[in-house]
Amino acid sequence: MTYRYTRLRVRRRMRKRKKQVVGLGESANKQLDRHIFRRWHNFKNAGRFAIGWFGLVVLLIVAVTFQTLSLGKHYLTSNPVAGGVYTEGVVGSFSNASPLYATDDVDTAVSKLLFDSLLTYDDKNQLKGDLAASWTVDGRGTTYTVTLKPNLFWHDGQPLTTDDVVFTYDTIKNPDAKSPLLSSWTGVKIEKVDKRVVKFILPNAYSPFAYALTNGIVPKHILGKYPAEQLRSVSFNTKNPVGSGPFEWKGIVLHGDNNADQTETIQLQRFAKYHDGAPKLDGVAITAYKNEDALRQALQDNKIIAAAGLSFSDKEIDSRYNTFGYSLMSANMIFLRTTSPILSDKMVRQALIKATDVPALSAKIDYPTIPVREPILSSQIGYNPAYEQLGFDKAGAMKLLDDAGWKINGKDQFRTKSGKKLSIKLTYQVNHEFSHIADGLQKQWADVGVELSVDITQNKNDSSKYLDSHEYDALLYGINIGPDPDVYAYWHSSQIDKKSQIHLNLSEYKSAVTDTALEAGRTRTDAKLRAAKYKPFLQAWHNDVPAIGLYQPRYLVASNQHIYNMQQSLTINTPSERFNNVDKWMINTNRK
């Protein structure tokens, strides 16, 4: 009975729920019919209105989104942050990182990044301490005392002391080491006072001496075990150099199978214990390219961030590149070899300078240049406008040549004397700028009856032979003068002798007045007195015309992106000094 009763009760509940579901369905259908289907024509009539409102809402969303992004760009600035590897390309090859031997652009760039010096230059090209905390000179100008900064370390963790300083300069002084820096250190005595103080004692006062303290210091604990004659070829120079600069050696990587297009990349990484604080960059990579065409292509293909030492004219620079133009404390000149048969005549040299429209030649360079009008640069002590070189005077040039016996006969284009044509050979190393200069010079000198033939050397080795042998009539070349006006190496008669280490008197110019003035000028520390001592030299140079000054060259760096804190529009003495504040450079950014 109980079972039957329960079953009937369940059935009744199921029927009741079924009726409720049916009722709800009927009610829903009635509501749909009443509120939707019977009024559907109303929705059709309101469709345009609804779509309009929907479109307005979408437009508002888009406008708000665009405004937010625009305001973000306006108020969120791109800020430089630490990190990243700066990659730079340079034409040349890597052969030696040691500051005792580095001379080429690639070597000096790597050496500058690896090795610090006692003194360096600030953004105004004035001396400042690098490893040195301070330096002083005595009243006689013969004793320089340098005090090192505390807590200096080599990349291998060893302390850097005055033992390393003494070792570096004693090595440079040693002829067996064959350092190109030897000539600046003859007769200088270096004494250690204690671990942080060192003295340099000169045989005579030498006003530019402090500038000789800007070369890198090398570690005695590594190189001290080698004989001086072996230092040029030790593995330290190319495989595992240890310095104290902002970056330390990581390695070298070769790219390409053919020697003709092979490149080499020198990889450096941040030195965390750098005395001025760890650099902002994680590292620097310098890639050496065989020629400028390859360098330009690498920049265009974004294989490197920057290309250094380019010969772009301003018209050729792509607007997408950031450019950094450094004015070098150097002088591009036409050196007239005063011992050659034709140019030994001072009247001919005076005629040639009057036949040279220097501003017109410089205009062919297509970037603003600083004129070179004397053997001393216009920004240096001793420069005197009264002794600027002779200006362009075509008629005056022709008269001087006539007076010197060089005549134009009949319809001949070029002058002759005793049956010999007035022909001069100009030598220079292949160079975009120099080619323009040479082309213009040929036309200008031809206008006064002088034939100018051109001998272009294709590589640095060939140029070095000419510099060593002086086998030219005229040489188009740039000399590095630096911040100090001591130009003894270029114009003193003792620098003609091929037995001297460098014999950079490229004009083979001899003048007793010049020799005396140059000797006196470099021994005076007072600026006014020094300028007075240089006056006879400037006057003799003006009259004798051993060279024709052109302009100060620039060193151009082009980059694919902004390099924060890279000093721009500076005057530097050598190309490697573009890295003077490399520890502050940054290439990565974020938005805040």
pLDDT, residue 392, reads 97
Q: Could you tell me the pLDDT band of residue 533, with boundaries at 50, 70 and 90?
A: very high
Single out the residue of 414, 438, 428, 503 nearest to residue 460, CA to CA.
428
What is the number of other CB atoms lying within 10 angstroms of the CB of residue 2? 6
pLDDT, residue 20, reads 61
In 279-421 the beta strands, taken as DSSP E runs, fall at 283-289, 306-310, 322-328, 330-336, 370-371, 416-417, 420-421
AA identity, residue 533: K
Mean pLDDT of the region 173-192: 93
Please tell me if the domain spanning 85-305+560-591 has the same topology as the one spanning 328-552. no
Mean pLDDT of the region 21-43: 56
Single out the residue of 372, 373, 376 nearest to residue 534, CA to CA.
376
What's the topology of domain 328-552? Dipeptide-binding Protein; domain 3 (3.10.105)
pLDDT, residue 583, reads 97
- Domain 85-305+560-591 homologous superfamily, CATH: Periplasmic binding protein-like II (3.40.190.10)
Mean pLDDT of the region 525-532: 94
Stretch among 181-185, 235-239, 273-277 having the lowest mean pLDDT: 181-185
β 370-371/547-552 pair status: antiparallel
555 vs 312: CA distance, rounded Å: 10
Q: Could you tell me the pLDDT band of residue 262, with boundaries at 50, 70 and 90?
A: confident
Identify the sign of the CA torsion 427, 431, 433, 436.
positive
Q: Do 343 and 474 touch, CB atoms closer than 8 A?
A: yes
Q: Do 308 and 555 touch, CB atoms closer than 8 A?
A: yes
302 vs 304: CA distance, rounded Å: 5
In the block, tokens 């090595």 appear at 171
Q: Is pLDDT at 62 greater than 60 in this prediction?
A: yes
Q: Do 298 and 307 touch, CB atoms closer than 8 A?
A: yes
What rounded mean pLDDT belongs to the chain?
90
Stretch among 142-146, 307-311, 350-354 having the lowest mean pLDDT: 307-311
Single out the residue of 197, 181, 193, 245 nearest to residue 217, CA to CA.
245
The stretches of 272-374 forming alpha helices (DSSP H) are 292-300, 346-354, 358-363
Residue 194's SS3 state is coil
Cα-to-chain-centroid distance, residue 352 = 34
552 vs 369: CA distance, rounded Å: 6
**pLDDT tens-digit readout, 468-499:** 889 999 999 999 999 999 999 999 999 998 77
pLDDT, residue 570, reads 83
pLDDT, residue 457, reads 86
pLDDT, residue 15, reads 67
pLDDT, residue 503, reads 81
Domain spans, the chain: 1-37, 46-76, 85-305+560-591, 328-552
